[in-house]
């Protein structure tokens, strides 16, 4: 199999992820990066001192032994760099394994190979990192515009919708004007895997959206049907939203990470704190599995334990 042949198959897999699985552009880039790295490993493992113009291996030759050699290579690289910043963290190694498992599962289903060599490979256990979130006080300070905070109309609408619905950044920028029902206070969201869900929003978000829509027609010189456009009439791109949210959050919190996803975590945590059913939160967030949503129960429990230790005389 030539290197070009491998790249062609990776490109075919990328098309599948985009057209069938509806994965985001950034996710597909990550998959491609991981598979390119694996291809480079194959070249090094098989060609060694020979020309790298050809990869002298067939897909069927990639077996469990070879996959394990790749994993050893990754973990050895981690040890080499341990005194500095690890070249491959446990999280990045886990991601690379996950990419290979998806790739070879695709090859097996398409009958490129007769056996999936990654079927017996398990993902390494990663320590659970509790999601960061804003306190009720910080959210109030941010959205009620107290203490001299003065949000632009666009910022206000974006922040209110993030906190009121818990939608992802990619979901927000792809909202169409037709997806918003102000009278019923509902939005139609297209999530991962092109799955649609209906999410309600509150009165504060409704007011912020109405204020924004009054200026949207002036900005929307290109007649786009997207809900959010900038003052030049362009669809908002992810980094613009990220920078906007980071700037606004910096005024109210000392959290290390200040991203749109923090508002999604805050939405879920505050709902749970107020007694919302975990299954309802799962549906609102668009999670595939309940186990993904259950991380927020850990956040709430940790907060309650902290309060208990601070307040109970026999803690």
Name the β-bridge partners of 196: 190
For the question of residue 112 being annotated catalytic, the response is no
Catalytic, 296? Answer yes
- How many Cα neighbours within 13 Å face the side chain of 99? 23
Give the C-alpha separation, 36 to 78, whole Å.
19
Catalytic residue among 192, 235, 240, 246: 192
Residues 250, 256, 259, 263, CA torsion sign: negative
Q: Which of 96, 101, 156, 168 is catalytic?
A: 168
Out of 185, 197, 261, 303, the active site residue is 261
> Which two tokens mark 223?
């007649």
Q: Which of 70, 88, 163, 296 is catalytic?
A: 296
8 Å CB contact between 281 and 152: no
Reference 209, options 172, 154, 261; nearest CA is: 154
DSSP 128-180: PPPPP---HHHHHHHHTT-TT----HHHHHHHHHHHHH---HHHHHT-BGGGE
Q: Active site residue: 54, 185, 287, 303, which one?
A: 287
Active-site residue 168, yes or no? yes
Catalytic: which of 264, 265, 270, 282? 264
Residues noted as catalytic: 168, 192, 261, 264, 287, 296
């Amino acid at each position: 199999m030539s290197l070009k042949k491998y790249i062609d198959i990776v490109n075919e897999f990328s098309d599948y992820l985009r057209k069938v699985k509806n994965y985001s552009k950034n996710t597909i880039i990550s998959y491609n990066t991981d598979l390119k790295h694996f291809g480079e490993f194959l070249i090094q493992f098989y060609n060694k001192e020979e020309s790298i113009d050809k990869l002298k291996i067939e897909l069927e030759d990639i077996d469990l032994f070879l996959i394990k050699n790749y994993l050893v290579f990754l973990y050895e690289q981690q040890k080499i760099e341990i005194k500095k910043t690890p070249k491959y963290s446990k999280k990045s190694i886990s991601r690379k394994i996950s990419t290979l498992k998806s790739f070879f599962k695709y090859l097996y289903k398409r009958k490129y190979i007769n056996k999936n060599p990654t079927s017996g490979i398990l993902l390494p256990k990663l320590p659970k990192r509790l999601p960061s979130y804003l306190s009720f006080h910080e959210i109030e300070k941010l959205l009620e515009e107290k203490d001299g905070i003065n949000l632009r109309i666009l910022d206000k609408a974006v922040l209110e919708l993030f906190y009121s619905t818990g939608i992802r950044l990619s979901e927000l920028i792809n909202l169409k004007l037709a997806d918003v029902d102000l009278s019923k206070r509902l939005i139609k969201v297209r999530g991962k895997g092109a799955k649609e869900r209906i999410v309600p929003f509150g009165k504060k978000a409704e007011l912020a959206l109405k204020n924004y829509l009054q200026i949207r027609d002036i900005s929307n010189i290109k007649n786009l049907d997207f809900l959010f456009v900038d003052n030049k009439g362009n669809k908002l791109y992810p980094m613009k939203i990220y920078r906007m949210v980071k700037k606004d959050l910096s005024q109210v919190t000392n959290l290390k990470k200040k991203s749109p996803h923090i508002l999604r975590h805050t939405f879920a945590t505050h709902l749970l704190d107020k007694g919302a059913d975990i299954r309802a939160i799962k549906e609102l967030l668009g999670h595939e599995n309940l186990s993904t949503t259950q991380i927020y129960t850990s956040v709430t429990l940790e907060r309650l334990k902290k309060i208990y230790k601070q307040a109970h005389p026999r803690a």
